[in-house]
Amino acid sequence: MHATLIHGDHDIRFEEVPDPVLVTGDDAIVRVVAACVCGSDLWPYRGVTKARGRIGHEFVGIVEQVGAAVAQVKVGDFVIAPFYVCDFTCINCRNGFSTSCLQGSWWGGDDRTGHPADGGQGEFIRVPLADGTLAVVPGPVDDALIPHLLTLSDVMGTGHHAAVSAGVRQGDTVVVVGDGAVGLCGVLAASRLGAGRIVAMSRNPSRQALAREFGATDIVEERGDDGIRVIQQLFDGVGADRVLECVGTEESMRQALGSARPGGQVGFVGVPNGGPELPMRKLFGSNVGVRGGVAPVRNYIAELLPEVLDGRLRPGAVFDLELPLAQVADAYAAMDERRAIKVLLRP
């Protein structure tokens, strides 16, 4: 079979690799139906972080084989894989934070038993802890639903986590920093949670349009101190109730903290990259809370999947380009050059 490997900066190849086999008893083999490229995949691609070997961590597919200890997932099931492996039974999983699973691991790394796990951008994938990791989608799955289902593996769950971490409630005013796929899903999540007014910070016309489709009521193009001033003016001179930080740079966190009113809260899901540092004295003086991190999307599937299935929630619109999986290198280039928001890949 074939899978995606990263060999160096801007060097993505779709190569022949051994077929995966069951090894732990609790694992499953999934035939990928759709995968995609994540903004965080661009970091090794750009050489910001070092990663070599199998890559990708978002996919949906059909279960082809299951190990002897797998009890819930069955051959033929259509499944969503979150961007990490988890048992979904440990104390952290039960507390709602399966990204801190005591038996957890990451696609492309070794699983808890020391066996290497596949990356998510391949034709077949061995899934450790299949009963915990995989969420089964009931019934026959309409092909048109696949992009929406695929977002539950990461990007929609992560946008939702930003909104939940910021504490978005009915009627709140919300600012979303970042117009990538996660930021746009953050807009959708805030809207779904009943936010009264949602500002998308974006300078890109097509992303502004999608933000409005997802529920943004206002667009702010200014950044830095100008951006903070405009946001404060929009909201009583003091800022918004909730801010979703969906980038992960020092500059974006500064924008987020400056956009929150006293007593407001920043929900952050952008992987902190060379920062950001938090100005503790300012947090103390303003009572702005900061909460977030790596999103427990496996836990959120139960809440979000029914709305995707009945058509109320349509986050799949973040995919504005679809390519064959074999052209995965083109997908990375399109996202790196911001020609695409997010690329869907089909084997």
Both tokens of 279, joined, read 């100005």
Q: How far is CA 139 from CA 34, 160, 182, 193, 222, in A?
A: 18, 25, 28, 27, 46
Query: What is the maximum span of the chain, computed from C-alpha positions, in angstroms?
Result: 61
Residue closer to a second copy, measured from CB, 264 or 347: 264
Query: Which one-letter DSSP state was computed for residue 110?
Result: B
Residue closer to a second copy, measured from CB, 121 or 173: 173
Query: Which one-letter DSSP state was computed for residue 142?
Result: P
Near a second copy in 159-178, by CB under 8 A: 165
Rounded to whole angstroms, the Cα distance separating 119 from 178 reads: 26
Q: Which amino acid is at 82?
A: P
Residue closer to a second copy, measured from CB, 270 or 316: 270
Using CB under 8 A, pick the residue from 84, 268, 319, 332 that binds a second copy. 268
Count residues near a second copy (CB under 8 A).
38
Contacts of 166 (CB under 8 A, 6+ apart): 174, 242, 243, 244, 265, 266, 267, 291, 292
State the DSSP string of 116-135: BPPPSSBSEEEESSHHHHPE
Decide: is 292 part of the binding site for a second copy (CB under 8 A): yes
Residue 217: HSE in the Cβ half-sphere, 13 Å Cα cutoff: 14
Q: How far is CA 130 from CA 69, 150, 155, 331, in A?
A: 9, 17, 21, 28
Residue closer to a second copy, measured from CB, 71 or 102: 102
Q: Which amino acid is at 99?
A: T
Using CB under 8 A, pick the residue from 49, 95, 206, 233 that binds a second copy. 95
Q: Which three-class secondary structure state does DSSP give residue 260?
A: strand
Q: How far is the CB of 314 from a second copy (least distance, A)?
A: 27
Both tokens of 319, joined, read 């995919």
Of 336, 345, 340, which is closest to residue 47 (Cα–Cα)? 336
Residue closer to a second copy, measured from CB, 24 or 265: 265
Of the listed pieces 28-36, 80-88, 91-99, 183-191, which binds a second copy according to CB under 8 A?
A: 91-99
Near a second copy in 184-243, by CB under 8 A: 236-238
Of the listed pieces 9-17, 140-148, 271-279, 300-308, which binds a second copy according to CB under 8 A?
A: 271-279
Q: What number of other Cβ atoms are within 10 A of residue 113's Cβ?
A: 14
Decide: is 108 part of the binding site for a second copy (CB under 8 A): no
Residue closer to a second copy, measured from CB, 65 or 232: 232
Q: How far is the CB of 176 from a second copy (least distance, A)?
A: 18
Of the listed pieces 41-49, 88-96, 152-160, 185-193, which binds a second copy according to CB under 8 A?
A: 88-96
Asked if residue 170 lies in contact with residue 193, where contact means CB atoms within 8 angstroms, the answer is yes
Near a second copy in 237-266, by CB under 8 A: 237-238, 261-263, 265
Using CB under 8 A, pick the residue from 8, 47, 53, 96 that binds a second copy. 96
Residue closer to a second copy, measured from CB, 4 or 286: 286
Decide: is 180 part of the binding site for a second copy (CB under 8 A): no
Of 94, 104, 99, 58, which is closest to residue 294 (Cα–Cα)? 99
Q: How far is the CB of 74 from a second copy (least distance, A)?
A: 31
Rounded to whole angstroms, the Cα distance separating 20 from 126 reads: 6
Q: How far is the CB of 231 from a second copy (least distance, A)?
A: 14
Decide: is 283 part of the binding site for a second copy (CB under 8 A): yes
Decide: is 306 part of the binding site for a second copy (CB under 8 A): no
Residue closer to a second copy, measured from CB, 93 or 308: 93
Interface residues with a second copy (CB under 8 A) are 91-92, 95-97, 99-100, 102, 165, 236-238, 261-263, 265, 268, 271-272, 275-278, 280-281, 283-294, 296
